[in-house]
Amino acid sequence: MKEHGIEGVCSVHEEAVRRILANRPSEEHLFEMAELFKVFGDPTRMKILYALLESELCVGDLALLLSMNQSAVSHQLKVLKDASLVRSRRVGKNIYYALSDGHVSTIVSMGMEHVCE
């Protein structure tokens, strides 16, 4: 066993440690990922994302599905949009929301699969 970097800490798997150190993401990317996962930490936002897995919906549809007022749903949609998890498009007076891309769909689907095992 060789000491590696920190006084008194021994590296048992020196090659694995070296490989991980060489390939780990930057501190900035890790911070951004942690912030992204915080957005997933709210049950209301998860309900919205799960509903949007099925279909593009407007605020009124989401409010009805979640038994919430439109203002509260709009607030949560803003958080999701700021995190680039949902996108919107306007049709006349209505704004429709959808998951921003396949990555979001995969994260939500895999999360549900994980908790249902």
Q: Which domains are present in the chain?
A: 40-116 (1.10.10.10)
Closest CA to 66 of 53, 47, 83, 88: 47
Pure H helices in 24-101: 27-39, 43-54, 59-66, 70-82
What is the C-alpha to C-alpha distance for residues 87 and 77, in angstroms, rounded to an integer?
Answer: 9
Q: Residue 101 is encoded by which pair of tokens?
A: 């891309």
Q: Among residues 53, 48, 63, which one has the least CA distance to residue 94?
A: 63
**Whole-prediction pTM:** 0.84
- For residue 9, what are the contacts with CB-CB under 8 A and spacing of at least 6? 3
Q: Which amino acid is at 112?
A: M
Query: Among 94, 90, 108, which Cα is nearest to 54's?
Result: 108
pLDDT tens, residue by residue, 73-109: 999 999 999 999 999 999 999 999 999 999 999 999 9
CB 97 within 8 A of CB 56: yes
Return the higher-pLDDT residue of 5 and 67. 67
DSSP 8-state secondary structure symbol assigned to residue 101: S
70, 63 in Cβ contact below 8 A?
yes
- For residue range 21-64, list pLDDT tens digits in order: 999 999 999 999 999 999 999 999 999 999 999 999 999 999 99
